[in-house]
Amino acid sequence: MDVLSSVLRHFSLNANVFFSGNMCGTSDFSDDKGVGHLHLLRSGTLKVRSNNGFEVVLSKPSVIFFPHSTGHCLFSDKGEGADLVCAQISYQSGGHSPLLQALPYCLNYELTGDGLLAQSAFWIFDEAFKDASGKHLIIDRLCDVFLISVLRKVLEEGTIKSGMMAGFAHPQLAKVLIKIHQTPEQSWSLSAMAEECGMSRSKFADTFKRVIEQTPADYLADWRLSVAKKLILKNQNMDLVANQVGYENGSALARVFRKKTGQAPKEWLLSQQ
């Protein structure tokens, strides 16, 4: 299984398109309700300003993606306006995963060329700006494809210098990350992880911490919890969940869960409903 598929197999993201059309004036997303946002500009000029001081003016077909909960405003000309498709991005893990933590607060790309990123964007535009049966479902699914193409571009370009995505760009660390993602139930000692990379224990631990900015043990715990959350959402028995993610029993998993999230698994599950 390839790198990105191994991640998304356990960490799902979902797009919900809430606007497609011509926007004139200002739209405020300061109350962003704990979700990410995706904005695709088809035509016109759009200024984007976030609450943390980031600002950009887009005048060509472009995408701007706020993976995290980030308050922001969109400004367009009151006369011409801007043709946009806007979606909220939600995460099955509740927004806590090594993948999301690895992404910057904002990603911005022009939609040029004939790669998957541009192609999927123009498929979205084609559906969004016509009146056809089932278009809302189709647009949501196309946005899911588009998001995967964004993550692929991030991974291929190696623009992220720390976190999970940087680890996947590292030829040796990627080997053990894929194995951890595929088999979180395995007993992953430091020696076992180092051997997978062909490194000594000390070199592996130092390299892992430098590139991913977490210790191997901390990263492993975070990944196991990401997988556990997906299984808990399916109302699986806690002891069974624990066995699938490398813990002896449900009590051991619950202790780690509370330490990492501040909630017991049942409390977290109720908060997701």
pLDDT tens profile 45-62: 999 999 888 899 999 999
As a whole number, mean pLDDT of residues 170-187 equals 91
> SS3 for 236?
coil
Confidence of residue 121 (pLDDT cuts 50, 70, 90): very high
Decide if pLDDT at 32 tops 80. no
Question: What is the sign of the dihedral through the CA atoms of 42, 60, 78 and 64?
Answer: positive
Confidence of residue 193 (pLDDT cuts 50, 70, 90): very high
> SS3 for 256?
helix
Q: Are 61 and 42 in contact (CB under 8 A)?
A: yes
As a whole number, mean pLDDT of residues 117-133 equals 91
CATH of domain 3-157: 2.60.120
CATH fit for domain 170-271, picks 1.10.10.60, 3.40.50.300, 3.40.50.150, 3.40.50.2300: 1.10.10.60
Q: What is the pTM of this model?
A: 0.74
* Res 90: pLDDT: 84
What are the boundaries of each domain within the chain? 3-157, 170-271
* Res 202: pLDDT: 97
pLDDT tens profile 194-233: 999 999 999 999 999 999 999 999 999 999 998 999 899 8
